[in-house]
């Protein structure tokens, strides 16, 4: 049978390119989990994904209620779940003030981490029940959260501190809107959320890999300088960033190539190792990359898991 994969944020950029790459194999039915139904449907058609290979289901990660509804709707569809890709993200580098999710969490961490955390937890049982030979839960990471790299050392650097802001509710009222309790910084909030994504993947691996056989993995697909992720950035940045990445850092990848990489992590029979953070070298070969000290801190991962459980209402 065909596999079923859910991809969040499949309406543009990496998510869309991955949806296309998987749908084209004819071996996957792609569920595009998106906040804007019409945009997602148009996007699928615009890249030529054929009708029988996809469906769009509404998901707004900035609302835990919506995440719960999505899980219910998915279950009622009667489809098995063979792979889940947590890909959607917001990046608000120029925001002066924090904005918030429906439940009042700072928007970048609320969407990129907490929304996905609840989604992945709710759908874990569905993945467990799948009889597909390879079951995978992929959470897209990023180099920017990894302070052991050049890109990760561009300030403001990611730092979750002792999680005091998160534990306080991340709401800018009783607590800071930042995980570490510091002053709001939109670029840092995004990087922090990516560290959370990578820590969450590893904690899933430690808690569930042996028992379930599910492969948990993360990846840095390369710098896809052309996606909508940079839509909130100043115009000069948007103009110069793609050529800078292409010719200076040489970290640039096209959306199509990055989509191929994520599709590989979802479906390649040779990439079944769990607990891995994948990257690609200059020849586009995948390798297991090292995470920064903070992004591989097992104690922090456990604490993040427990605090997040409380915030999303699982504990």
Question: Which positions are catalytic?
Answer: 190
Q: Smallest distance from the beta carbon of 211 to ligand NDP, in angstroms?
A: 27
- 264 near ligand NDP (CB under 6 A): no
Q: Smallest distance from the beta carbon of 39 to ligand NDP, in angstroms?
A: 6
- 15 near ligand NDP (CB under 6 A): yes
Task: Build a one-symbol-per-residue string for 34-73: x at contacts with ligand NDP by CB under 6 A, - elsewhere.
Answer: xxx--x-------------------xxxx-----------
Q: Residue 71 has which token pair?
A: 């899980």
Please answer whether residues 225 and 246 qualify as being in contact, where contact means their C-beta atoms are separated by less than 8 angstroms: yes
CA atoms within 13 A on the CB side of 5: 36
Minimum CB distance to ligand NDP smaller for 8 or for 264: 8
Please list the residues that pair with 218 across neighbouring strands.
139, 277
Kindly identify the residues of this chain, within the stretch 175-204, that bind ligand NDP according to CB under 6 A: 194
- 242 near ligand NDP (CB under 6 A): no
Gap between the Cα atoms of 221 and 93, Å rounded: 20
DSSP string, 237-279: HHHHHHHIIIIII--B--HHHHHHHHHHHHH-TT---SSEEEE
Burial 92-115 (b: 16+ CB within 10 A, else e): bbebeebbbbebebbbbbbbbbbb
Q: Dihedral sign, CA of 35, 41, 47, 48?
A: positive
Among 3, 9, 93, 181, binds ligand NDP (CB under 6 A): 9
- 88 near ligand NDP (CB under 6 A): yes
- 218 near ligand NDP (CB under 6 A): no
- 265 near ligand NDP (CB under 6 A): no
Among 3, 5, 6, 13, binds ligand NDP (CB under 6 A): 13
ω into residue 156 within 30 of 0, thus cis?
Answer: yes
Gap between the Cα atoms of 277 and 62, Å rounded: 25
Among 18, 147, 176, 227, binds ligand NDP (CB under 6 A): 227
- 212 near ligand NDP (CB under 6 A): no
Binding site for ligand NDP (CB under 6 A): 8-9, 11-15, 34-36, 39, 59-62, 87-90, 111, 140, 142, 194, 220-221, 223-225, 227-229
């Amino acid at each position: 049978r065909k596999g079923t994969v859910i991809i969040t944020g499949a309406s543009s950029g990496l998510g869309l390119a991955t949806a296309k790459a998987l749908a084209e194999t004819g071996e996957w039915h792609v569920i595009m989990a998106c906040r804007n139904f019409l945009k997602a449907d148009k996007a699928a058609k615009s890249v030529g994904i054929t009708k029988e290979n996809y469906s769009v289901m509404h998901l707004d990660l900035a609302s835990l209620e919506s995440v719960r509804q999505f899980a219910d709707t998915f279950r009622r569809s009667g489809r098995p779940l063979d792979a889940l890709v947590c890909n959607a993200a917001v990046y608000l580098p120029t925001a002066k003030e924090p904005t918030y999710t429906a439940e009042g969490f700072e928007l970048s961490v609320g969407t990129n981490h907490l929304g996905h955390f609840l989604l992945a937890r709710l759908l874990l049982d569905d993945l467990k029940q799948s009889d597909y030979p390879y079951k995978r839960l992929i959470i897209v990471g990023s180099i920017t959260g990894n302070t052991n790299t050049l890109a990760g050392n561009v300030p403001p650097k990611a730092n979750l501190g002792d999680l005091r802001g998160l534990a306080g509710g991340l709401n800018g009222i009783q607590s800071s809107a930042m995980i570490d309790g510091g002053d709001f910084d939109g670029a840092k909030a995004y990087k922090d959320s990516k560290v959370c994504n990578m820590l969450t993947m590893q904690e899933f691996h430690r808690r569930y890999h042996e028992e379930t056989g599910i492969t948990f993995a993360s990846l840095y697909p390369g710098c896809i300088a052309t996606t909508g992720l940079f839509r909130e950035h100043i115009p000069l940045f948007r103009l110069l960033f793609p050529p800078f990445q292409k010719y200076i850092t040489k970290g640039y990848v096209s959306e199509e190539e990055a989509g191929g990489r994520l599709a590989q992590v979802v479906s390649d029979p040779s990439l079944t190792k769990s607990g891995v953070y994948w990257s690609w070298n200059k020849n586009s070969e995948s390798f297991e990359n090292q995470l920064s000290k903070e992004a591989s801190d097992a104690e922090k991962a456990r604490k993040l898991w427990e605090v997040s459980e409380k915030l999303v209402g699982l504990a």
